[in-house]
Chains A and B, each alone.
Chain A
Amino acid sequence: MKKILSIVMVLALAAFASFAAVTTASAEELKMTGTISKIELAADGKSATVVLKDTKTEASVTVIVSDELTLDKFKDKRIVEGDEIRTKYDSEGGKNSSKMFKKTAGC
C-alpha cells in the first residue's frame, strides 16, 4: 500500500512539474514586423483581433490588442489595414496577446 502511495505521489509530482514547465514555456514573448491584413474591433470596443502578415515569413499571425491607446488608434484610423506594424506579444495557449503595437513608419 505504501509502495502504491509513493508511486502515486511521484507520478503526481512529475505531472505537476511537467504542467508547470509547459505553462512557463508556453508564456513566451515573441516579436515580429508585419502588415495588417485585418482589424476586427470587439463589440464592446475593449479589444481588437488583428491579423498580421509576417514580412519575413509571410505567415499569418493573429494578435489580440487590448491596450486603450492602440484601440483608440484603430477607432480613429491612425492605424489601418495595410500599415506595417512592429509588435511584441505573449503567446500562451494558442492566444497571442499584444504587449507593444506600433507603426514602423515615423515622419
Chain B
Amino acid sequence: MWGKNVVIVLGCILLAATVYAKEHPGKEQILKDGYQGPKTCEECHPGKAKEFLGTVHWKHASKVDHVDNLDPNEEHGMKNRIYTMCNGNDIVNNLKEVPPNALGKTKFTGCNTCHPGDHASDVGSTGPAAEQAIDCLICHSLKYDFSKRKAVKDSSGKVVMTQDRSTEAAANIGRPSVKNCMACHEAAGGGAMIKRGFSMAKDAEVHITKGIICVDCHQVKNHKFPTGRDPNNWAHDGIYMTCVGECHTIKPHSDPDYNRHTDKIACQTCHIPKTGGAFSKDFTKWEKQSNGFFEPSTLKREVNETAPVYAWYNLTVSNTPQFIGPKGSRTDGKSKIYPFKIFQGKAYYNKKDGKLMSMDFAPPIANGDSLAGVASAAKILGIKDYEPVPGWQTIYFGSNHQVTPKSKALRCANCHAVNGVLNLKELGYNPREIEKLTTPEIYFEKLLKQQQENE
C-alpha cells in the first residue's frame, strides 16, 4: 500500500512538473499577436467562455438540494446568501466606492471583488459581452500582475474592475497554480485566512509539500469544480469529491485498526487536527481602524491555533436563522464524524419575521453606523417592514484543508482518552459506552510497541 501511494504521489508530481515544464501551445502566436482577452483563448478553446458563465465561479450560486429551508428551484450562494461570516452578499455589497470617512478618505469595496469578470459584466451575467469580460488569466497565468486588477471608475463614473491582459501574462498560462486559487480563496471574509483559516503553504499542507496542487484534487471538468461538502458552502457545480479516489482507497492505512474506523470517521477528523481564522464577529459593533475606516469587530486566531469541534454529519445541512451546521447522528447509517470550525456571528434580525438581515458595508465602513448598513441593504432588497434587533448565529465550517503530515495526525490516544478530543457524550454515547471507549486497554499494547520501536 505504501509503495502504491508513493508511486501515485510521484506520478502526480511528475505530471505537475511535466505540465509546468512544457510551454502552453500557442505561446508564439500570443507573443506575435498580443492578447485580446477570451477571444484569444477561444481561438484554440472554442466555447469555453460560454461554458464558464454557467459555473459557480461566475454565478456565485447554484441550485441547492441538501440544505434545509431553501427553495430547491432557486439558486443560492454568495450572490444572495445572508449569514454572519459575511453579513452582506454580492447584491447588497455590490462593488462600490464607500462614502468618505471622517478623514475624507474613500475606497472601493464589495463582496464581488473576487468575481472573475470586469464588474460591468458581473455575477451571473450572460451573453457575448460577459464572455469577453472573463478574466481567464487570473486563474490561468503564472505571471499575472495583480496590481493591474483593481476597481476604478470608468469615464462614465461606473465602477469597473481592470484586469492584467498583458502579453506577458497571457504567454505564461497553464493549469491554475496554488497561488492562482489562493489569491481569491485566502482573502474571503475580511482579510487573509480569516474565513476558512487554513494555509496552503508548503509547510502547512502535506499535499502541497509533496507538490500536489489544488486542481490535482479538485479535478476540473469543463470548468466545473468538484467540491467537498462543507455545511456552509452551498453553491456547487454538481460534482462532489472525497479523499477516496485516484490517490486514496477506502482502506488507506497499513494498520487495519485504523482502517476499521473509516466507516464512521471521516479522513479529515484525524488528518486535519487544527484550523484557524475568525471564530466570532460582531456586525453590530464596528471598530475604528487607524486609517479612519471601520471594520466589524472580529475575534480571530492564526492558522493552526484552533482545535476543531467534531460532529456526526450525513452531508445534509440544518439551516435556520440562528444555526447553520451538520445534520446526522450515530444511528442514521449515513453519518460520519467530521471536524468543524465553530463560528459565531452577531448581526441584526428582523423582529417582524425572525429572519437574519443583511448589511450593506459601505455606510459602516465609512462611519461605523451598522444600522445605516442594514437600512441600505433593506432598501436594495425592497424590505420595508422591519425592526432590527441584534442576535447571534452559530455556523459550522467544514475543516477540509491543511492536511497535516501523517506523524502529526490524531492517533488512538487522542480520541480514546478521558476528556479526549472527541466529546463522546455530545456524539451520542452513553456513560457505559464512553467508559469502554476511553480505556487505555484499547491501545496500550499497540502504542507501547510503537514507542519501543521508535526509541
* A76-B190 in contact given A68-B201, A84-B291 (Cβ < 8 Å): no
Residues of B within 8 A of A68 (CB): 201-202
Q: Which of B187-206 contact A (CB under 8 A)?
A: 187-194, 199, 201-202
Interface assignment of A95: CB less than 8 Å from any CB of chain B: no
Give the size range of B's interface with the partner.
20 to 34
- Among B144-152, B263-271, B322-330, B372-380, the stretch that binds chain A is B144-152
In the bound complex, CA of A71 to CA of B331 (Å): 50
Cross-chain contact B201 with A107 (CB below 8 angstroms): no
* A77-B291 in contact given A100-B302, A106-B189 (Cβ < 8 Å): no
Cross-chain contact B290 with A69 (CB below 8 angstroms): no
Cross-chain contact B191 with A106 (CB below 8 angstroms): yes
Cross-chain contact A69 with B201 (CB below 8 angstroms): yes
Residues of B within 8 A of A78 (CB): 146, 183
Residues of A within 8 A of B199 (CB): 69
Cross-chain contact B147 with A77 (CB below 8 angstroms): yes
Interface assignment of B64: CB less than 8 Å from any CB of chain A: no
Hey, what's the 0/1 contact readout for A83-107 against B, CB within 8 Å counting as 1?
A: 0100000000000000010111111
In the bound complex, CA of A72 to CA of B146 (Å): 11
Interface assignment of B222: CB less than 8 Å from any CB of chain A: no
In the bound complex, CA of A106 to CA of B107 (Å): 12
Give B203's nearest chain A residue, CB to CB: A68
Interface assignment of A41: CB less than 8 Å from any CB of chain B: no
Give the size range of A's interface with the partner.
10 to 19
Interface centre among B93, B191, B199 (most CB of A within 10 A): B191
* A107-B291 in contact given A77-B146, A78-B146 (Cβ < 8 Å): no
Interface assignment of A27: CB less than 8 Å from any CB of chain B: no
A-B contact count (CB 8 A): 58
* A80-B147 in contact given A106-B189, A106-B190, A107-B111 (Cβ < 8 Å): yes
In the bound complex, CA of A76 to CA of B144 (Å): 6
In the bound complex, CA of A84 to CA of B291 (Å): 9
Interface assignment of A55: CB less than 8 Å from any CB of chain B: yes
Hey, what's the 0/1 contact readout for A63-74 against B, CB within 8 Å counting as 1?
A: 000001100100
Residues of A within 8 A of B202 (CB): 68
Interface assignment of B110: CB less than 8 Å from any CB of chain A: yes
Interface assignment of B301: CB less than 8 Å from any CB of chain A: no
Residues of B within 8 A of A104 (CB): 191, 289, 291
Interface centre among B188, B190, B290, B302 (most CB of A within 10 A): B290
Hey, what's the 0/1 contact readout for B120-146 against A, CB within 8 Å counting as 1?
A: 000000000000000000000001111
Residues of A within 8 A of B179 (CB): 72, 76
Residues of B within 8 A of A56 (CB): 290
Cross-chain contact A55 with B290 (CB below 8 angstroms): yes
In the bound complex, CA of A43 to CA of B14 (Å): 30
Residues of A within 8 A of B148 (CB): 77
In the bound complex, CA of A11 to CA of B202 (Å): 48
In the bound complex, CA of A76 to CA of B201 (Å): 16
Give B191's nearest chain A residue, CB to CB: A106
In the bound complex, CA of A78 to CA of B190 (Å): 16
In the bound complex, CA of A59 to CA of B199 (Å): 31
In the bound complex, CA of A103 to CA of B93 (Å): 20
Give B146's nearest chain A residue, CB to CB: A78
Cross-chain contact B147 with A107 (CB below 8 angstroms): no
In the bound complex, CA of A77 to CA of B439 (Å): 54
Residues of A bordering B, CB below 8 Å: 33, 35, 55-56, 68-69, 72, 76-78, 80, 84, 100, 102-107
8 residue pairs bridging A and B, Cβ less than 8 Å apart = A104-B191, A106-B194, A107-B110, A107-B111, A107-B113, A107-B187, A107-B188, A107-B190
Q: A69-B199, A107-B109 are in contact. List 14 more A-B contacts (CB 8 A).
A: A33-B291, A56-B290, A68-B201, A76-B145, A76-B146, A77-B145, A80-B146, A80-B147, A84-B291, A102-B193, A103-B187, A105-B109, A107-B110, A107-B189
Cβ-closest 4 pairs across A and B: A55-B290, A106-B190, A77-B147, A106-B191
